[in-house]
A and B are shown apart, each in its own frame.
Chain A
């Protein structure tokens, strides 16, 4: 190992801010990743689920005799058997509803789990699932939330409240907003839908459950939040937590899809318990696609402004389609998640957001899909509305934004919808973007093209994200406060082990966490082992989703490192035979103030901690739980440049620039990679991916031929840049970035397409902007306005 040479060099960062190649990659590159389906336990059974073909039906009977005739068949379990063991319903993560493990009396959505089949082989289990004979009595289907609100058909008679209405949530000043809108020179009114989508990680979910010789549940599972799973399993199954070990191995992507506890998991555990053998269940792609969803917000917006474009008020009314169960992953105090960020990057004197959620006969879920709980919907809405307003007022969309931005000297900024933004410099970030994209030249080019009747669009999004779900005064899941734990142990030779309650799904925690600790302690990041995902060894933490890992676990790691440094200081004082107050931490070593030759490195301290600690307690380790004081608010400006083919409706994204401000960046290479990935998912939402249902409640997106995700061919080439406004309250000033591109980009894409079509008078099209939809909008506009050429 290279020794630190800092004596005669200017201070520089040891590990943080460097594009260090990922420590985890060699195993993935060699096919040695350990994903859920790579785990096989001795004597394991395989489980397959029976799914309902009907979206809404009574179950009159289930006959499993034919299934049990399959060679290798072991058991079929239905709701009745589960009930006999006291298991039937699961609490949802925010604890406001519960969800059937297996259909109890009736099915509420297509593909709902009806029975579980256990067999000696995977093939036999699937054969069994084919042969379980379920007698259904179809019921009237309510697939539309606007129909559900009439309560003609009661979907959830099991609930006390005899209505399809789940909750109303509102925030802000209703009367003041109405008055301000009434007094505004101009009010934009638009209905904007954010369609239902799915996270679709390439690795489906799955698990292997075993009760070991001690009667202890060893549960291997694709989980973004292993500790919460352990507590949830205690709640569902009544198994004490010390008798449960949850192990989340390498995850092939998650994006929110691996947050919920799915019925299949409970059935696998129940099977392992009753049958006395390990049970493996791996989802099919169709099961994955039909198990959860995100978005599905139907939003009515009113945006008021004065003649010069100064914003006066914002009012939002939303109908949310939650499907069969209210299984949204929102914290209980925020039933609509962080939708309150809907005022975006702008100063609003008045704002009011109202949301009503309804049950329908659709798949449940409401996962935080690459987004901090509904912030994607909010950002899309305000950024779309700003463009419509700019168009109405004949203003340049960037000038409208500039005029209304929260200024950098106004932070911390209290919004009318209850968030306190920590820091930001929106104007600077936008200026960087305008310059890098060459906005003035693009405007010229666009004007020329418009002369010729060609459709070119430039679309902006200057979004603010809210991440770092953690302040326990605001956030909980199942009532558990959303903190995160970090544990660091430094070994005598100066290497160490880092454990956190988060769980990487490809975000590169093994590298990033090592960099944070290395920077804080002046040790080599290559010499840290990072371990996550095993509840026996990792400290409690709420997991990785909603861009919370770096803001919360990253903070915990920095503070745990500093705790170690304080202990190290005492040992260093002993080694240097000075008072600890005479030492300063300088250039990654303890130095006697004013005497640069008298210093000890952390490596030397580490060795001494185990060999010669003086009067100090031996050892060098720390565990710390971090409960952040506030959330963090990354922001960015995204620009999309598109050409739309007037004849075919095809959109070509010619350029896309993302300028992100995520505060302090730990590994620029990893950050850039995440931005690329998020932009591609944002592109998918804008142009192709949608879980569509027909009126009869049939799910039309159950595999990758119907649910389109972009390939390398249609994905645009991404350009990125960064500005840096550190978070003032975070230990290292870090915000987060993984979800910003998915939150910020759909609006930029749609704004660009609508900008392209604006000469024809097109004002809005709901996503996804497929060729057919754009083509139809062009044809309609041309037919309606004969003036257009």
Chain B
């Protein structure tokens, strides 16, 4: 990075660009610790994509509106990773879409999105699935309304959401411990 260079800042009241401060940041991503020296202002999403090389987490709005950058932090908290600095994730656990399929076998949420045609261009899909997982963690058998509410921070321009809702419903069924009695939340 370019932290050392000394330079003259322009004489202005605004757009003052501080000399970038470089920090060492360690984040456990999908179980693997990634340590890098990054500028303090590096966003978590860029850390994940560029430093850890995991490009499944996307950027759509760079302003916390679209949710395509959603990852799970410390287990099950969905966070829009464009909204957080990488340093804020220092020492914490991050889970991205790349963690879902194990040994080439799709996770139930992935299988359900595939079965129900819950994706078209696929750009929103990783974030959508991570949010869905968090939702199912909180509420293993959500109603349609609860699903729609739970996903309302994630935009999709292609699918119109019907099939995403169905996918989450299917995933809920697939993930339910088969021994447990069915509980309806309607």
Contact = CB atoms under 8 A, between A and B. Distances in A.
Contacts of A282: 59
Contacts of A703: 61, 63, 65
B151 interface: yes
B120 A681 contact: no
B7 A70 contact: yes
B54 A507 contact: no
B85 interface: no
Residue with the highest number of chain B CB atoms closer than 10 Å, among A251, A285, A678? A285
Contacts of B20: 71, 123
Interface size class of A (residues with CB under 8 A): 35 or more
Nearest to B98: A31
A137 B98 CA distance: 51
SS of A interface (majority): loop
A717 interface: yes
Given A123-B41, A681-B157, A31 B121 contact: no
A677 B149 contact: no
Given A25-B114, A670-B117, A712 B157 contact: no
Interface in B154-182: 154-165
Contact of B120 (A32, A285, A506): A506
B20 to A, nearest CB: 7
A399 B1 CA distance: 71
Contacts of A204: 60
Interface in B44-71: 46, 49, 54-63, 65-66, 68
Interface string A220-258: 000000000000000000000000000000111111000
Interface string A9-29: 000000000000110111111
Contact of B158 (A25, A69, A253, A669): A253
A28 B121 CA distance: 8
Nearest to B19: A71
A253 B68 CA distance: 13
Contacts of A30: 56, 97-98, 100-101, 106, 110
Contacts of A24: 122
Interface in B137-163: 144, 147-149, 151-163
Interface residues of B, number: 68
A25 B119 contact: yes
A259 to B, nearest CB: 15
Given A252-B123, A704-B61, A711-B153, A22 B98 contact: no
B63 A704 contact: yes
Nearest to B101: A30
A31 B56 contact: yes
Interface string A31-75: 111010110000000000000000000000000001001111000
A201 interface: yes
Contacts of A704: 61, 63, 65-66, 155
A703 B122 CA distance: 21
Contacts of B96: 31
A89 B164 CA distance: 44
A765 interface: no
Interface stretch (A124-132, A302-310, A390-398, A423-431): A124-132
B152 A713 contact: yes
Given A31-B54, A709-B155, A250 B122 contact: yes
A298 interface: no
Nearest to A72: B2
B105 to A, nearest CB: 11
A4 interface: no
A657 interface: no
Given A29-B110, A709-B157, A712-B151, A674 B120 contact: yes
A709 B156 CA distance: 9
Contact of B160 (A69, A124, A677): A677
A38 B119 contact: no
Contacts of A252: 58, 60, 121-124
B159 A713 contact: no
B184 interface: no
Contacts of A284: 62
Given A30-B100, A673-B163, A70 B125 contact: no
A507 B98 contact: no
Nearest to A289: B61
B167 to A, nearest CB: 10
Interface in A105-158: 120-124, 127, 130-131, 133
A115 to B, nearest CB: 15
B8 to A, nearest CB: 6
A731 interface: no
Contacts of A201: 121, 123, 157
Contacts of B147: 712
Nearest to B42: A123
A676 interface: yes
Contacts of A33: 56, 122-123
A669 B117 contact: yes
Contact of B5 (A71, A130, A131): A71
Contacts of B78: none
B65 A713 contact: no
Nearest to A34: B55
Nearest to A709: B155
Contact of A680 (B1, B46, B97, B160): B160
B99 to A, nearest CB: 9
B15 A718 contact: no
A133 B10 CA distance: 10
Residue with the highest number of chain B CB atoms closer than 10 Å, among A26, A31, A121, A250? A31
Contact of A69 (B7, B115, B152): B7
A121 B22 CA distance: 14
B123 A35 contact: yes
B63 A705 contact: yes
A37 B122 contact: no
A203 interface: yes
Contacts of A486: none
A29 B107 CA distance: 10
B83 to A, nearest CB: 13
Contacts of A172: none
Interface in A680-718: 680-681, 703-705, 709, 711-713, 715, 717-718
Given A28-B122, A712-B164, A677 B98 contact: no
Nearest to B60: A202
Nearest to A715: B161
A115 B162 CA distance: 43
Nearest to B150: A712
A268 interface: no
Given A30-B56, A718-B160, A506 B122 contact: yes
A677 B151 contact: no
CB-CB nearest 3 A-B residue pairs: A31-B56, A28-B122, A252-B123
20 contacts: A21-B115, A22-B117, A27-B122, A29-B100, A29-B125, A31-B55, A32-B56, A66-B10, A71-B7, A120-B2, A200-B157, A202-B60, A202-B124, A252-B122, A253-B158, A255-B157, A673-B120, A681-B157, A705-B65, A711-B155
Interface of B: 1-5, 7-8, 10, 15, 17, 20, 39, 41-42, 46, 49, 54-63, 65-66, 68, 96-98, 100-101, 106, 110, 113-115, 117, 119-126, 129, 144, 147-149, 151-165
Interface of A: 21-22, 24-33, 35, 37-38, 66, 69-72, 120-124, 127, 130-131, 133, 200-204, 250-255, 282, 284-285, 505-508, 669-670, 672-681, 703-705, 709, 711-713, 715, 717-718
Given A127-B17, A285-B62, 4 more contacts: A29-B106, A200-B157, A201-B121, A506-B119
